[in-house]
Structure 1
């Protein structure tokens, strides 16, 4: 197998920059794409969270859990608020707790998620910037609301299949053909969204997760050369798995995050966009601002553009 040869990059936006490619977003571009958006239709590109949902647990990370911390009957019995039985029977109170790995479901990887040789994007080191409560640089809280042009690269449709085969490595040619068939090109600041077809099997974990078809490192490098602001895909890691490179078990992650400064959005549901032939759209997405976290849940919304 080949070697990936990935190195951490310094940001062209300065030594303190934590946004990387998200610097390509601008109020002017956001305003322009919003002006073209058709608000009468919207596509929710996220998946719902539920106990038993498919999630990445191979490395020992916890599955999604939700349990009640308060229930109407329990509030009456416990009387922890001191309101008494009569009032607590009148007020029907429920509360719950969520426990999960931050890279569960539809989510965005912050730039601190993967690095190389003890450093993340822009040279921030583990020794100086990672504490016991998360990263002080490149965490999920610095990711701004993403309002930009989204472009669907429907590779599965281009290849005439419902879903790409397991471990299929998407090539540069696959990407350019998908764009050509849609009559589109990528522009600076776009979010490129790659459809493999995996989400057509959701929520069957045996078909959604494991040995994913995804971007080859060559295709990943071609996409970042187009000055995109973020990359997204409908499977768990954007890139092909297992790795094709002997020196790196997730070279795509290391390239996008540490070398190119491009955040990654994973487990995006692109099925309805593909079904309706919507390949260009206004994308609106924002993560939960989890300070210091390497990722956070995300709810991307696609609004078709007028005239499409």
Structure 2
């Protein structure tokens, strides 16, 4: 195990942030093959037939929760000044007796206890899905919608998180860490196309068009320690992202890390090239902070992925609580 880990560290250190000719060429947003009004991109691959197919193969038994808990001090993106997760009590049993906010009297408040709370958070916290508006190129998002025309003070008028339909599709776990004999990929490791192909061969699984593909780096083992979880995590590279979408037909991609892609960027012209490639050019939503440890432990690589995100109107992302049910 130690030698394998050392080899990966050396390999990661030798990876050069050199873009291919295709990557270095001028980049612009993708135009949807589903029409000029399309706001959901590759989610159009969900059909009645595709839903029926995956649900007909559910084997029953175990149901895997792929979401994480929200709590004060949880890992979150702070580099751009976004807010931490906060929860505070708006009503407590003893406080209600004192304040009597509903004017029902002391006797009633002592008999009927009342607890209420409020939360404040960045949209990209915990297990969440990035909407196609999250990143764009040259003032436009997927399908050529412009910020100038379609973004108001209360969010996007197109392609916001509320447009994301319920996700019912074949899910595939690519356990890159386990395929390399590791509990967790090294800090900063950039997952390559070769890594994904090797892991799929090791699992004896093939990808299909319309899959929700989730990549395990093992980073979730550090989730309880926000600083450790956020410090230089492993992530995916551009060639690997192209393999998932253009070569294999993935509909949604995701991982157990935050920000999905590796840093520093492979392109001098784009500080988040994987995000702009997936969201703005390919119309492929991204799921981040997916909890994949139980799937890995039980070697469940194919499953029915079922998830609904909050319909936050005009938002660039929304929390999602997906489940995985093994399929035959």
TM-score above 0.5: yes
Corresponding residue for 1:217?
238
Displacement of 1:221? 1.1
Q: Secondary structure at the match of 1:232?
A: strand
Please identify, of 2-11 and 156-165, the stretch whose mean Cα deviation from structure 2 is larger: 2-11
Displacement of 1:229? 1.1
8 Å Cα contact 1:198/1:207 also seen in 2: no
TM-score by length of 1: 0.97
CA distance in 1: counterparts of 2:111 and 2:67, whole angstroms: 36
Corresponding residue for 1:171?
192
Corresponding residue for 2:6?
none
The answer to whether residue 289 in structure 2 is matched with residue 267 in structure 1 is yes
8 Å Cα contact 2:217/2:255 also seen in 1: yes
CA distance in 2: counterparts of 1:143 and 1:187, whole angstroms: 21
8 Å Cα contact 1:112/1:138 also seen in 2: yes
Q: Secondary structure at the match of 2:68?
A: coil
**Number of residue equivalences:** 306
Q: Secondary structure at the match of 2:171?
A: strand
Structure 1 gaps of 5+ residues are none
Corresponding residue for 1:49?
70
Deviations 1:222-264 (A, max 9, x none): 1111221100101001111221211111100000100000000
For residue 39 of structure 1, the aligned residue among 42, 60, 79 is 60
Please identify, of 145-154 and 209-218, the stretch whose mean Cα deviation from structure 2 is larger: 209-218
TM-score by length of 2: 0.91
The answer to whether residue 153 in structure 2 is matched with residue 132 in structure 1 is yes
Corresponding residue for 2:11?
none
CA distance in 1: counterparts of 2:235 and 2:73, whole angstroms: 25
Deviations 1:83-120 (A, max 9, x none): 11111111101110010001001000000000001000
Corresponding residue for 1:162?
183
Structure 2 gaps of 5+ residues are 1-16
1:73-92 → structure 2 map (5 Å cutoff): 73-92=94-113
Corresponding residue for 1:235?
257
Q: Secondary structure at the match of 1:151?
A: strand
